[in-house]
A = this chain, B = another copy of it.
Amino acid sequence: MLEKTTRINYLYDFYHSLLTEKQQSYMSLYYLDDYSLGEIAEEYDVSRQAVYDNIKRTEAMLEEYEEKLLLLQKFQGRVALLGKIKELINSDPPPKQALLDAVAELEKLD
């Protein structure tokens, strides 16, 4: 499940500001602070099922935001291109045209 957790963490990073305060609290306790559903339920005096449903709904919302805005996908594209650009800068001598091409690709991501 690490892959899914990593993805949700990234999506949470990008979109948490669009969530309600309660959604943010549950997600942050569950995914960042590694609380169990039972511990969150106790903390908020609600049923374990209510916490579970809220978190599942929030995960679905995060995926919907990503479908619409693609912030994670574009971020990953930029990370890859910036890695390539750094390699090119460190070549001797730095190949100008390849660098300019990579920068143009970066611009297209926006």
Report A's interface with B, CB cutoff 8 A: 15, 17-18, 65, 68-69, 71, 75, 78-79, 82, 85-86, 89-90, 93-94, 96, 99-100, 103, 106-107, 110
Contacts and interface: CB of A to CB of B under 8 A. Distances in A.
A90 B96 contact: yes
A17 B103 contact: no
Given A86-B100, A89-B96, A94-B94, 10 more contacts: A17-B69, A69-B71, A71-B71, A78-B106, A78-B110, A79-B110, A82-B103, A89-B94, A90-B100, A94-B96
A21 to B, nearest CB: 13
A99 B89 contact: yes
A82 B106 contact: yes
